[in-house]
Structure 1
Amino acid sequence: MDIACLIGKRLKRGDILALSGDLGSGKTCFAGGLAKGLGLSEEYRITSPTFTLINEYQGRCNLYHFDVYRLNGCKEFEELGYEEYFSANGVVAIEWAEKIESILPENIISIKFDYVDENIRKIIIKGFKGRIEEIAQDLNAEVV
Structure 2
Amino acid sequence: MSPRRARLTRQLRGPEATLALGAALGRLLAPGAVVLLTGRLGAGKTVLARGLAAGLGVSADYAIVSPTFTLLNQYPGRVAFFHADLYRLAGGEAADLELLEEAAEGVLAVEWAERAPELWPPQAISVELIDQGEGARRAEISGPEEIIGNLDEALGREEI
CA displacement, residues 40-82 of structure 1 (integer Å, 9 cap, x when unaligned): 1111000000010011111110110000011102x21121122
Shift of 1:89: 1.4
Counterpart contact for 2:25–2:52, Cα < 8 Å: yes
Cross-structure match for 1:13: 31
Does the alignment pair 1:102 with 2:118? Answer: yes
Q: Distance in 1 between matches of 2:147 and 2:28?
A: 10
Q: What is the RMSD of the two structures over their aligned residues, measured on CA atoms?
A: 1.5
Does the alignment pair 1:128 with 2:150? Answer: no
Which of the residues 67, 71, 74 maps onto 1:53? 71
Which is worse superposed, 106-115 or 75-84?
A: 75-84
Counterpart of 1:40 in 2: which secondary structure? coil
Q: Distance in 1 between matches of 2:152 and 2:30?
A: 14
Identify which of structures 1 and 2 has the higher relative contact order when contacts are C-alpha pairs closer than 8 Å and 6+ apart. Answer: 2
Q: Distance in 2 between matches of 1:3 and 1:37?
A: 9
Q: Distance in 2 between matches of 1:3 and 1:83?
A: 23
Which of the residues 86, 94, 97 maps onto 1:80? 97
Alignment of 1:133-144 (within 5 A): 133-140=149-156
Percent identity for Structure 1 against Structure 2: 40
Counterpart contact for 1:50–1:68, Cα < 8 Å: yes
Could you list the structure 1 runs, at least 4 aligned residues long, displaced by more than 3 angstroms after superposition. Answer: none
Counterpart contact for 1:114–1:123, Cα < 8 Å: yes
Shift of 1:135: 2.4
Shift of 1:10: 1.3
Counterpart of 1:83 in 2: which secondary structure? helix
Q: Distance in 2 between matches of 1:33 and 1:11?
A: 12
Counterpart of 1:112 in 2: which secondary structure? strand
CA displacement, residues 88-139 of structure 1 (integer Å, 9 cap, x when unaligned): 2110000001111122110000000000113111111001232322222212
Q: Distance in 1 between matches of 2:27 and 2:80?
A: 13
TM-score normalised according to structure 2 size: 0.82
Shift of 1:17: 0.3
Task: Give the gaps of 5 or more residues in structure 2.
Answer: 1-18
